[in-house]
Amino acid sequence: MKIEQQTVKKIAHLARLELSEPEEVKMVEDLSKILDWMDQLKELDTTAVEPLTHMSEEVNVFREDIANNQLSREKGLKNAPKQDGEYFLVPKVIEQ
């Protein structure tokens, strides 16, 4: 399939792209190659091929989400540069 330069200009406008003249010529070539490849794919018989929902058959293994305290407050605050016994103290970054 042949793409015209006017089509590339329209696509570039819709995508808010600014293409120079050489870039438009290159884009015409690239899009034509892509569409030719798609035409080749249309020639394949895919009637016996099941549609894919994922590209691999890998399955995530999730662990059970169990809340537990692995770090006590005292241990967490032990190396803090500034703390008040319950919380970390940090410099104010938002002015009101």
C-alpha to C-alpha distance for 7 and 34, rounded to whole angstroms: 15
Q: Is residue 90 part of a domain?
A: no
* Residue 32 structural domain: 5-42
Whether 80 is in a domain gets the answer no
**Measured distance CA(53)–CA(43) in Å, rounded:** 22
pLDDT in tens, 53-86: 888 888 888 888 888 878 888 888 988 999 998 8
Number of compact structural domains in the chain: 1
Helices (H), the chain: 5-14, 21-42, 73-77
Q: Per the domain annotation, does 88 fall within a domain? A: no
Q: What is the pLDDT of residues 5-55, one digit of tens each?
A: 999 999 999 999 999 999 999 999 999 999 999 999 889 998 898 888 888
